[in-house]
A and B are shown apart, each in its own frame.
Chain A
Amino acid sequence: MAVRRTFRKRILINYLAVFSIFSLVVLAYQYDREKHYRTAQLENTLDNISEFSHRYIEHKKIFETGDFRSLDTLKSLLPISNTRLTVLDLTGKVVYDSFVANVEHLENHLSRPEVQKALQFGKGSSIRLSATTNQKFYYYAKNCHNYYVRTAAVYNVDIINFLKTEHIFLVFIFFLFVLMGILFHFTTRRLGDFIVKLKDFALKAGQNEDISKMDSNFQDNELGVIRRQIVQIYDNLKTAKDELTTEKEKLYGHLQVLNEGISIFSPEKHKILANSHFIQFINMISEKSTISAEHIFTIPEFRKVLEFVDQYRENELPALNKELPQLEYTIEKSEKFFHVRCIIFVDRSFEVLISDVTKPEKQKLLKQQLTSNIAHELKTPLSSIKGYLETILNNPNIPEEKRKYFIEKAFAQAERLTDLLNDISLLNNIEDAGGLFEFKAVMLKPVIHDVVENLKHRLNEKNMDCVVDVSKEIVVNGNESLLFSIFQNLIENSINYAGNNASITIRKYLEDDKFYYFQYCDTGIGILDEHLTRIFERFYRVDYGRSRETGGTGLGLSIVKNAILLHKGEISVRNRPEGGLEFLFSLSKK
Chain B
Amino acid sequence: MSQKKDEAIVNIIADYEKLANLVLRQLDTVEKLIASGKLRLDDSVQEDFVKNEEKINKLEVKLSEEVINSIALYQPVASQIRKLMSCYRITISLERIGDLALNIVKLMRRIENEEVYTSLSGFISKMMNLSVDMSRRSMLSFLNQDMELAKWTIKSEVIVDEFNHKMLKKVAERVNLLAEDKNILISFINIKEMAASIERIADHAANIAEASFYSFEGKDIRHKRN
Residues of A within 8 A of B (CB): 207-208, 256, 274-276, 279-280, 283, 288-292, 295
Contacts and interface: CB of A to CB of B under 8 A. Distances in A.
Interface in B117-161: 132, 135-137, 139-141, 143-144, 146, 148-149
B102 interface: no
Given A256-B148, A275-B144, A276-B148, 19 more contacts: A208-B2, A256-B144, A274-B144, A276-B141, A279-B140, A279-B144, A283-B136, A288-B24, A288-B28, A289-B25, A289-B27, A289-B132, A290-B21, A290-B25, A290-B136, A291-B20, A291-B21, A291-B136, A291-B140
A288 B25 CA distance: 7
B17 interface: yes
Nearest to A276: B146
Contacts of B27: 289
Nearest to A279: B140
A137 to B, nearest CB: 77
A279 B132 CA distance: 14
Nearest to A208: B2
B149 A289 contact: no
Contacts of A280: 136-137, 140
Chain B interface, DSSP helix/strand/loop, else mixed: helix
A159 to B, nearest CB: 60
A456 to B, nearest CB: 50
A256 B148 CA distance: 10
Given A208-B2, A283-B136, A291 B25 contact: no
A4 to B, nearest CB: 21
B17 A291 contact: yes
Contacts of A295: 21
Contacts of A279: 140, 144
A392 B73 CA distance: 102
A506 B144 CA distance: 54
Q: What is the size category of the interface that chain B forms with chain A?
A: 20 to 34
Given A208-B2, A289-B132, A276 B28 contact: no
Contacts of A275: 144, 146
Contacts of B2: 207-208
A279 B27 CA distance: 17
Interface of B: 2, 17, 20-21, 24-25, 27-28, 132, 135-137, 139-141, 143-144, 146, 148-149
Contact of B28 (A274, A289, A292): A289
Closest 10 CB pairs of A and B: A289-B24, A291-B140, A276-B146, A291-B139, A289-B136, A289-B28, A291-B20, A276-B144, A290-B21, A279-B140
Contact of B149 (A208, A274, A276): A276
A509 to B, nearest CB: 30
B183 to A, nearest CB: 35
B91 to A, nearest CB: 14
Contacts of B17: 291-292
A189 to B, nearest CB: 31
B28 A291 contact: no
A258 to B, nearest CB: 12
A290 B24 contact: yes
B65 to A, nearest CB: 22
Contacts of A292: 17, 21
Residue from the set A276, A288, A289 with the largest chain B CB neighbour count within 10 Å: A289
A290 B139 CA distance: 9
A274 B143 CA distance: 10
9 contacts: A207-B2, A275-B144, A275-B146, A280-B140, A283-B136, A289-B25, A290-B21, A291-B136, A291-B143
A158 B149 CA distance: 98
A321 B102 CA distance: 56
Nearest to B23: A289
Nearest to B139: A291
A279 B139 CA distance: 11
A256 B149 CA distance: 11
Nearest to B32: A287
Contacts of B25: 288-290
Nearest to A288: B28
Nearest to A252: B145
A280 B24 CA distance: 13
A461 to B, nearest CB: 47
Contacts of B21: 290-292, 295
Contacts of B135: 289
B140 A256 contact: no
A283 B27 CA distance: 13
B55 to A, nearest CB: 15
Given A207-B2, A276-B140, A279-B140, A291 B146 contact: no
Contacts of A208: 2
Contacts of A256: 144, 146, 148
Contacts of B137: 276, 280
Contacts of A207: 2
Nearest to B24: A289
A292 B13 CA distance: 11
B24 A291 contact: yes
A84 B135 CA distance: 120
A208 B25 CA distance: 41
A275 B140 CA distance: 9
A262 to B, nearest CB: 12
Contacts of A290: 21, 24-25, 136
A295 B143 CA distance: 15
Contacts of A288: 24-25, 28
A565 B144 CA distance: 39
Nearest to A271: B17
B170 to A, nearest CB: 21
A280 B27 CA distance: 16
Contacts of A276: 137, 140-141, 144, 146, 148-149
A47 to B, nearest CB: 82
Nearest to A273: B144
A207 B144 CA distance: 27
A362 B27 CA distance: 32
A349 to B, nearest CB: 18
B127 to A, nearest CB: 16
